[in-house]
Amino acid sequence: MADNNKDLAVKRSVTTTVARSLVVILLLAVIITGFSIISLASSLNDAAAINTAGSLRMQSYRVAYDIVVDSPLLPEHVQSFEYSLLSPELQVLDNPAVPSDIRQQYGELITHWMQLRPELLGADKVFYLEQVGLFVNKIDRFVFELQQHSENKLQALAITGSIGLGLIFATVLFLIQYTQRRIVQPLNMLVSASQKIQRRDFDVELPPARSNELGVLSSSFSSMASELKSLYADLESNIEIKTRKLTKANLSLNVLYECSTLLSSSQLTRTIFENILTTSLKAEGITALKLDVQHPNESHWEIAVGHVKPMRWHTLPLQHDGETLGTLMWQGDDSLVDWTLLESIAAILARGVRYKHAQKQAMHLAVMEERATLARELHDSIAQSLSYLKIQTSILKRHLKRADAPECEPIADDISEQLRVTYDQLRELLTAFRLSLSNSDFGLALNEMVSTLQAQTTAHIEVSSSIDTVSMTVEHQMHVLQIIREACVNAIKHANASTITVSCRQEGHLAYIEISDNGEGFDLHKEKPNHYGLNIMQERSKMLLGEIDILSAPTQGCRVLLSFNLT
C-alpha cells in the first residue's frame, strides 16, 4: 500500500510542478492587474484632489477680490471655497495610505480656513487680506505635495509592473525550460525508442530515471524493451530451432524418397547401391558410409562412399523379415546424425539386397530353365536323329561289304566319322546346356562348378575370386562359367594337367579371368581335329563384349585370359 502511494505521489510530481508554475503566473498576473487597477483608480483620485486643491488658490484670490470690490457674491464664493476644501476628493486623503505630511498639511489648511472664515463673515475683512498670501502659500505647498505623492505612486506602479512582468517572463522561461528538459526531451527520447523498437532494435536510449511520471514511464518502457528483446530472442531461437528441424526433416524425406526411387529400378546393380549410399551422404552429420553384405546364399561384397577416416565405424544391421543380410556402417558426428533416418536407410538397403538376390535368382532360374528346355529339345530331336543316322550308316557299311563294293566304303566311313563328330559336338553342347547350378551368385556358382569338375579328375583345381558378384549379370555369369568350364575340361581331357588354376579378379569396372594349367600344351598354329571348344570360348567372349587370349606351347601348359567390362 505504501509503495502504491509512493508511485501515486511520484506520478503527480510533474503535473504538480507545472500546475504550481501556472498558478504562480496567474497570481502574479492577478496581483499586477489588481495593483494596476488600484493604482489607476488612486491616480484618478489624486488628479481630482490636485485639481480641487489647485482651484483653492484661485478661489482664495477670488474671495480677496470680492472683499476689495465689496462684491455681493462674497458669501456665495466663501461657501464654494469651503465646499471645495471639504470636497470628497480631498476627504479621501484622510487615510493611512496617504503620507502623514499631506494629511497634516490638509488639516492645517482646514484649521487655517476655520480661523479665517469668521473674519470673512464679520466686520474685519481686512484681516483676510493680510492672511491670504500665507494661506495661498500653504495651498501651494499642499498641491506640490499632492503632485509629488502622485508622481511617486506612478513610479512605484511602473517599478512594480516591471518587476511583475519580469517575474512572469522569468516564470514563463523557467516553465518552458523545465517543460523542454523534463517533458519534451524525455518524450522525444521515448518516441525515438518506440521507432527503434518498431525496427526491431531493442537497444534503446531512454531518459534518465526521475521521480516523476515520465521517469515511471521510462522505467516501464525500459522493462518492456528488455522483455521484448528477451522474448524476440527466444522467438528467433525457437524459430531457428524449428526451421532447423523442419529443414532436417525435409532433407531426411528427400533422402528417403531418392533412395526409394533408386530402389525401384528394374534391375539392381552395384551402381544403384552406390547411388543410394551417395544420396544418403546428404543426411546431416554423415561423412562416410559402407555397405557390408554377408548374405548366406551370396558371396561377401561391400561398397564404401564418402571420406573414410581412420576412426571407429558405427554399425546398423541390415534386417529383413527377421533375417540379417549384412551391416550398414557409418562415420560422422553422433550429435547431428538422425538415427531414425539411418535405420530407414538400413531398411531400404536390406530390402534392396533381398530384392537383388531374389531378382538375380529368378533370372538365374529362368536362364537355367530355358537352357534345360533347349537341351531336352536337342536331345529329343537332333540327338535322336543323329543316333538313327549312325545306326543306318552302320547297316549301310555292312551291306556294302556284303555287296562287295569297296569303292563305296571310304564314302561310308567318311559319313560315319562326320556323324560321330557331330554327335560328340551335340553331346558336348547338351552337357553345357544341362550345367545345373543352384546358386545365382557367381562366387558360389563357381565353387559349385569346380567341385563338380574336381570329382571327375585327379588334377588339383585351385580357385580364387575377388570379382564383385553384385555387378555381374546372369548372362555374364553363365558365359564366364561356361568359358571356365570349357578351359578346365580341356585341361583335364587333353592336357593331362596335374594342377589347374582359376583366378578371377576385378580392377574398377573390368573383370579379368585367367585359367592356367601345367599340362602338355599344344601348338596354336597347328589345327587340331575335333577340338571345337576354343571356338566356343571365342564366341562366348564376343557375347561378353570382351577379349580372350589363349597362350600355349608344347610342354608349357596353357593359359586362357579373358577380360570384359562388368557395366
CA distance 239 to 282: 23
Residue 349 pLDDT: 81
The CATH number of whichever domain residue 332 belongs to comes to 3.30.450.40
- Whether residues 190 and 334 share a domain: the answer is no
Please report the pLDDT score of residue 15 as a whole number.
Answer: 57
What is residue 9's predicted lDDT score, i.e. its pLDDT? 44
Question: Given pLDDT bands bounded at 50, 70 and 90, which one contains residue 400?
Answer: low
Question: Coil, strand or helix: which one is 99?
Answer: coil
Q: Could you read off the pLDDT of 484-493 as tens digits, one per residue?
A: 888 888 888 8
* Mean pLDDT, rounded, for 267-288: 81
Answer whether residue 442 shows pLDDT above 70: yes
Would you say residue 2 has pLDDT above 50?
no
Per-residue pLDDT at 514 exceeds 90: yes
Q: Which of 2-11, 91-100, 333-342, 552-561 has the highest mean pLDDT?
A: 552-561
Q: 170 and 109, same structural domain?
A: yes
Residue 531 has pLDDT above 60, yes or no: no
* Domain shared by 174 and 272, yes or no: no
The pLDDT tens digits of the residues spanning 34-69 come to 655 555 455 556 677 777 777 877 877 787 777 777
Residues 69-119: pLDDT tens digits? 777 887 888 788 888 877 777 776 777 767 777 778 777 778 887 877 777
Please list the residues that pair with 516 across neighbouring strands. 501, 559
The per-residue pLDDT for 425 is 58
Stretch 441-455: mean pLDDT, rounded?
83
Are residues 114 and 6 both part of a single domain? Answer: yes
Based on the domain organization, do 31 and 168 belong to the same domain? yes
Q: Is residue 482 part of a domain?
A: yes
Q: List the beta bridge partners of residue 320.
A: 323
Residue 8 has pLDDT above 50, yes or no: no
pLDDT digits (tens, 9 = 90+) for 338-364: 888 888 888 888 887 777 766 666 655
Domain of residue 490, CATH code: 3.30.565.10
Provide the CATH number for the domain around residue 160: 1.20.120.960
Look up residue 453 and give its amino acid.
L
Return all residues near 357 (Cβ < 8 A) that are at least 6 apart: 295, 297, 298, 440
pLDDT at 11: 43
Higher per-residue confidence, 28 vs 291:
291
* Residue pLDDT, tens place only, 125-143: 777 777 777 878 888 887 8
Residue 416 belongs to a domain: no
Of 312, 334, 351, at which residue does a domain stop? Answer: 351
Q: Is residue 479 domain-shared with residue 341, that is, in the same domain? A: no
Average pLDDT, the chain: 76
443 in Cβ contact with 465 (< 8 Å):
yes
**Residue 186 and residue 252 in one domain:** no
Residues 94, 160, single domain; the answer is yes
Instruction: With respect to residue 160, please indicate whether it lies within any of the assigned structural domains.
Output: yes
What are the DSSP calls for 193-254, one per residue? HHHHHHTT------PPP-SSHHHHHHHHHHHHHHHHHHHHHHHHHHHHHHHHHHHHHHHHHH
What is the predicted pLDDT for the residue at 409?
A: 62
Query: Following DSSP, what letter does each residue of 96-127 receive, concatenated?
Result: TTS-HHHHHHHHHHHHHHHHHHHHHHSS--HH
Write the burial class of residue 247 (CB in 10 Å: 0-12 exposed, 13-18 middle, 19+ buried): exposed
Polymer length in residues for the chain: 567
> 116 and 252: one domain?
no
Query: Kindly report the CA angle at 75 between 125 and 87, in degrees rounded to 5?
Result: 110
- Among the ranges 181-185, 233-237, 521-525, which has the highest mean pLDDT value? 233-237
Count of structural domains within the chain = 3
- Does a structural domain hold residue 375? no
Give domain status of residue 358, yes or no: no
Instruction: List 215's β-bridge partners, or say none.
Output: none
What is the span of the domain harbouring residue 102?
Answer: 2-194
Percent of the chain whose predicted confidence (pLDDT) is above 90: 5
pTM tops 0.75: no
Whether 20 and 168 share a structural domain: yes
Instruction: For residues 271 and 174, state if they share a domain.
Output: no
Select from 314, 333, 351 the last residue of a domain.
351
Does residue 515 carry a pLDDT above 50? yes
With respect to residue 134, please indicate whether it lies within any of the assigned structural domains: yes
For residue 80, tell me if it sits in a domain. yes
Grid coordinates 601345367 are at which residue? 518
Q: Are residues 458 and 560 in the same domain?
A: yes
State residue 423's pLDDT score: 59
Q: Give the pLDDT of residue 555.
A: 84
- Closest CA relative to residue 492, chosen from 453, 535, 522, 524: 453
pLDDT value of position 78: 79
Q: What is the mean pLDDT of residues 229-245?
A: 85
Does residue 122 form part of some domain?
yes
**541 has pLDDT over 60:** yes
